[in-house]
Structure 1
Amino acid sequence: MNLTHLSSGSPDQVFQFPSNCLKRVVAKYCKDNLTVPNIVHYIWFGSLSFEFMHFVSFLSAYKYQNPCMILFFHDMLPSGIWWNLLRQTVPNIVLVKVITPTHISGRRIKFIQHKADIFRLQILKEYGGIYLDTDQYILRSLDEFRNNECTMGVAHDGSVGSALIIAARNSRFIQKWIESYRSYDPKSWGGNSVTMATKLTEKCPALVRLHRHHCMFFPHGLVLYNQNYKWSHSYAIHIFKNGHINMLKSINFDTVRKLNNTIGAFFRYILHGNKELCRK
């Protein structure tokens, strides 16, 4: 079985989740001497618009992590110019069709974000790898963390972020996190995601390696939009897109050239390998 055929053939090979066939493909093509396989996972639930900012996220993972494959878990495929450009630019995206969960521990899921919260853990338990939110960006290789059973970043407020999770298959920390959903509260926005992850890291510190915000998260979201922050020490950036959607939707290959803030700088770095403003 040829991986290039799986990811870029026409028509696309679309797997289901879970899939023993996909598990065999992962075992065959993504095995190296590190604990965490070099697979990147993205989740796409709902009829969202695939924007330039999403294109840049995928491109960052492809360029700077160089994964053996990018698994794209979706209930419906996006469309549009940026999705089409991504499929032409990144050759190792593997499509995985998903039936989104409707209940957790017998309780109906209220928010689509909660569906992604639990599903990312199920993905990592099944395959291991690097989970990324679609507003998370990789700036340099995460390979030095791939010998840990689980690695996560800490935000400016001391909470553990779930936009980037690096975990081995059947990670003990991920398993405990999944088990915590027995007490799932549909009305609590971050109760079982950020809050529970933070509690579990305090309860089971030996099961997860934590890194401070300057490695994977910024001190505060406003630093991205209102300033030029020095991010050369960062492995990854989460852009906290809520509240900034209109501004982010205005960015494209043309406008990013003169965007004078942190996002403009690292977008240019991902796209062109150079963070400097274009003055002309």
Structure 2
Amino acid sequence: MGEIYSCHRDLIKRLHVLNADKYAAKALQELPFCSSSEIRNEWNFTCKVQCPDPHFATAVTKLQPKFQITCDTLLDTDESPEVSEVPMFNFTDQCFRDELYKLCSDDEPVPNIVHYVFFGIYELTFFHFLSIWSTHIIQKPCAILIHGNTLVSGPLWDRLVKAATNLIRVRRAPPSDIFGNTIHLIEHKADVARLEAVRDFGGIYMDSDEILLRPLDPLRKYDFTLSHAYDYNLSNGLIMSSRNASFVNIWYSEYGTYDGEVWGHHSTIVPFELSQKHPHLIHVENKTFVNPDFEHVDLIFEENFDWRNNYAIHLFIRKYELEHNFTDIRHLNTTMGSVARHVLYGCKDICSD
């Protein structure tokens, strides 16, 4: 019975996608072309534009590493020669940490290094690509570190490594415990791993469905930054931290009372409570990293939200049923569509073809 229900559900989903595509194609034909003023101010998307080529279409097509880390602890992989040119180091490699920090440090407390944590992910999805590409093209980081226990691959990974020359793989296993407390949920393992990443390297942590919309450089002057998702919590989907920041160390130490049965407490409620106790150690943004929030995903999936005041947006892909690609996203008349076009084409408006 479960298999029948699953097949029936998948069939309905496919029919929904086909009907949506037909409706979108008809609606696209009926849209007029935008004037320049409409392109600037339009958030209901009642007109269309001629979109430029995607950024990555004109990006470098040969791997040319931005810098050379001189440590002799570079790890070998069994991948194809092209993809294996993405360097890989162990998370605990002190030489790698020191070399990277030296190469990527500037006058700001938070180094321009971006971190992702990919546990159990083998193939890069469209939304993974969109997130990483948004940081690459908008933040222009010195390095993008992919922390994980698997070798991510696939067509989109191949496309990414051809265009982004600052990728580094960081091999690490999901943490199994913290301060003697066993961690069972993979989400909680990732919560701990992201704190360890920004604590030990410094930089910017991004969830794999967090999309950057404008540069974070104005916030790199603070030792530590989080944003509200709700008034009573702070989101950990985007974290900015100097290396060994006081706030991240205090937050990490609070995991001594970690209870795996309580969802989200140490990842969102604890940092909010700590921000009330230690306001001098943290800069708090008012929902500029997460807006709309988890309870209003319809504004992302079904409507058009004006995100011009956001630094970033969380797409909450785990609640989204549809798949997208570089073609259909050009005509998607939702916040999801405008965000993807902004990242891929530098133009949020609906494409004419």
Name the TM tier (shorter chain): over 0.9
What's 2:173 paired with? 99
The amino acid of 2:311's aligned partner reads Y
**Which structure 2 residues correspond to residues 155-234 of structure 1 after superposition, within 5 A?**
155-213=229-287, 215-219=288-292, 220-234=296-310
Deviation at 1:157, TM superposition (A): 4.8
**Which structure 2 residues correspond to residues 15-54 of structure 1 after superposition, within 5 A?**
15-47=89-121, 49-54=123-128
Deviation at 1:240, TM superposition (A): 1.6
Runs of 5+ consecutive residues of structure 2 not aligned to the other structure: 1-64, 75-81
Deviation at 1:99, TM superposition (A): 2.0
How far apart are the structure 2 equivalents of 1:164 and 1:279? 33
* 1:258 paired to 2:331: yes
Please point out which of 268, 275, 278 is paired with 2:348. Answer: 275
| Residues 191-200 or 176-185, more deviating | 191-200
The amino acid of 2:347's aligned partner reads N
Check the 8 A contact 1:110/1:187 in 2, yes or no: no
Check the 8 A contact 2:124/2:153 in 1, yes or no: yes
Q: Deviations over 1:19-66 (max 9, x none)?
A: 112122213310211111000001100145421011010000001101
How far apart are the structure 2 equivalents of 1:78 and 1:5? 22
Please point out which of 128, 131, 144 is paired with 1:57. Answer: 131
Q: Deviations over 1:163-195 (max 9, x none)?
A: 000110111110011000000101112121112
The amino acid of 2:329's aligned partner reads V
Please point out which of 222, 241, 260 is paired with 1:148. Answer: 222
How far apart are the structure 2 equivalents of 1:96 and 1:162? 20
Q: Deviations over 1:221-259 (max 9, x none)?
A: 221112111111211111122221x31xx2101110111
| Residues 225-234 or 50-59, more deviating | 225-234
How far apart are the structure 1 equivalents of 2:319 and 2:83? 38
What's 2:11 paired with? none
How far apart are the structure 1 equivalents of 2:66 and 2:84? 13
Check the 8 A contact 2:202/2:242 in 1, yes or no: yes
How far apart are the structure 1 equivalents of 2:246 and 2:205? 16
| Residues 175-184 or 13-22, more deviating | 13-22
Deviation at 1:202, TM superposition (A): 1.6
How far apart are the structure 2 equivalents of 1:157 and 1:196? 13
Please point out which of 201, 207, 216 is paired with 1:133. Answer: 207
Check the 8 A contact 2:131/2:208 in 1, yes or no: yes
Q: Deviations over 1:185-209 (max 9, x none)?
A: 0111212111211211122111111
Change (3 A) 1:33 1:5: closer
Percent identical among aligned pairs is 35
Q: Flag the structure with larger Rg.
A: 2
How far apart are the structure 1 equivalents of 2:168 and 2:314? 23
Deviation at 1:5, TM superposition (A): 5.2
Deviation at 1:18, TM superposition (A): 1.4
How far apart are the structure 1 equivalents of 2:170 and 2:291? 31
What's 1:75 paired with? 149
Change (3 A) 1:10 1:75: closer
Change (3 A) 1:226 1:12: closer
What's 1:237 paired with? 313
SS for the counterpart of 1:242 is: helix
How far apart are the structure 2 equivalents of 1:232 and 1:13? 36
How many residues align structurally?
Answer: 275
How far apart are the structure 1 equivalents of 2:94 and 2:155? 33
The normalised TM-score by structure 1 is 0.93
Deviation at 1:4, TM superposition (A): 4.1
How far apart are the structure 1 equivalents of 2:66 and 2:170? 14
How far apart are the structure 2 equivalents of 1:115 and 1:65? 27
SS for the counterpart of 1:148 is: coil
Check the 8 A contact 1:47/1:78 in 2, yes or no: yes
How far apart are the structure 2 equivalents of 1:28 and 1:124? 15
Q: Deviations over 1:122-155 (max 9, x none)?
A: 1111111000000111111101111101011111
How far apart are the structure 1 equivalents of 2:271 and 2:315? 20
